[in-house]
Structure 1
Amino acid sequence: RAVTEALAPETSSIISVFAGRIADTGRDPLPIMVESLEIMRARPKAELIWASPRELLNIFQADAIGCHIITVTNDVLGKLGGVGKDLDMFSLETVKMFYNDARAAGYTIAVPENAK
């Protein structure tokens, strides 16, 4: 609020809110980002950055609320291929990934003869 109030209405500016860091504290950043946009309405030339997102969902959240800019790491962008993916298939792929990782690490599970 103080940053927005310090800006002249005709001043072009960018205000960065580290939404990902907010999420790291266990708080949902979405209400804070919505409030930030509301506060910034008095400064029409100010743009809001959703900074440091931690998950792909944040891209869609930022877009849905009208956030002007979102900074995204390559790791998060790399997950765009999963958008709309069938959840059953995604779960199966995840189980297979864990299985393959366990085998590569040399882990085995002892199964009693009568359980086979």
Structure 2
Amino acid sequence: MTAVHSSTQTEKILKLLNKKSKVIISIFADRAGDTGKDPVPEFKRSISFAKKFKNVEILWASVREPYNLIQDKQLGCHISLYHRLQ
């Protein structure tokens, strides 16, 4: 799933997904930032929801600033640019 902007969307996706398929939910942090909304709380909730599913990973998408890499690591996103830079 891509172009997710909120934990509400993540929650809806998780209710509908096939529990046998591997799923990556790509949350666009920059889009939240564009609206003046802090993306960190949305990521925290989405990661919390995803922990209930072994087949779901959360991706911090659209990294715009270096600090996003630190936020991503602190939050424990499953997939991120930070992890790819290591």
Q: Which has the higher contact order (CA 8 A, sep 6+)?
A: 2
Q: Distance in 2 between matches of 1:24 and 1:9?
A: 32
CA apart distance, 1:8: 3.5
Aligned to 1:2: 12
Identity across the alignment (%): 37
Question: Is 2:66 aligned against 1:59?
Answer: no
| TM-score for both structures, normalised by structure 2 | 0.74
Q: Is the 8 A contact 1:17 1:48 kept in 2?
A: yes
Question: Is 2:74 aligned against 1:39?
Answer: no
Structure 2: gaps of 5 or more residues: 1-10
> What are the superposed Cα offsets for residues 16-59 of structure 1, whole Å, 9 maximum, x if unpaired?
11111111111110010010001111212211111112211111
Q: Is the 8 A contact 2:69 2:81 kept in 1?
A: no
Opposite residue 68 of structure 1, the aligned amino acid is: H
User: How many residue pairs align between the two structures?
Assistant: 73
The runs of at least 4 aligned residues of structure 1 exceeding 6 Å deviation read none
| TM-score for both structures, normalised by structure 1 | 0.57
Q: Distance in 1 between matches of 2:79 and 2:12?
A: 20
SS of 2:20's equivalent? coil
CA apart distance, 1:71: 4.6
Q: Is the 8 A contact 1:9 1:42 kept in 2?
A: no
Larger radius of gyration: 1
